[in-house]
Amino acid sequence: MGDNGNNRAVHIVKELSNSNLNQDVQEELIGKMFKDGEEKDEDAILDKLFGKRNPQMYVTLIMSLMLIVVILILTLAFKENLDFVKFIWNIAIPAITLLWGYAFGKSQTK
């Protein structure tokens, strides 16, 4: 929360304490307000998994590994048909290059 958010929170707490609401209701509302602020700071699932620093690198790594595994499986399945294997690798190499170009380009723009 910035200064504007803090001022707004202080204003809301003052208004609640000066209101004619029941004391229990006031405490519950104030508690919920601060509890909501704490939940916003909690990391998301992908932040926990990849971290907040350059998560695109981790996502790119996983996507690249998945693509390579699929291409290797197809290569082994169609090893007799060399034209098809060359065709698949001619698609896979630019796709991997594109993934890594996106990841490095995205990390440099920050």
Question: Considering only CA atoms, which of 25, 61, 71 is closest in space to residue 17?
Answer: 25
Question: What is the pTM (predicted TM-score) of this model?
Answer: 0.51
pLDDT tens digits, one per residue of 89-109: 999 999 989 888 887 786 565
- Banded pLDDT at 1 (limits 50, 70, 90): very low
Mean pLDDT of 28-46: 64
Report the distance separating Cα 95 and Cα 48, nearest Å.
Answer: 27
Report the distance separating Cα 69 and Cα 72, nearest Å.
Answer: 5
Q: According to the model, what pLDDT value does residue 43 have?
A: 66
To which H or E segment does residue 96 belong?
helix 82-108
pLDDT tens digits, one per residue of 63-86: 889 999 999 999 999 999 999 999
Report the distance separating Cα 36 and Cα 19, nearest Å.
Answer: 21
Mean pLDDT of 37-44: 56
The two structure tokens encoding residue 105: 């380009």
Report the mean per-residue pLDDT for the chain.
78
In the chain, the amino acid numbered 75 is T
Mean pLDDT of 45-62: 73
Give percent of the chain above pLDDT 90.
27
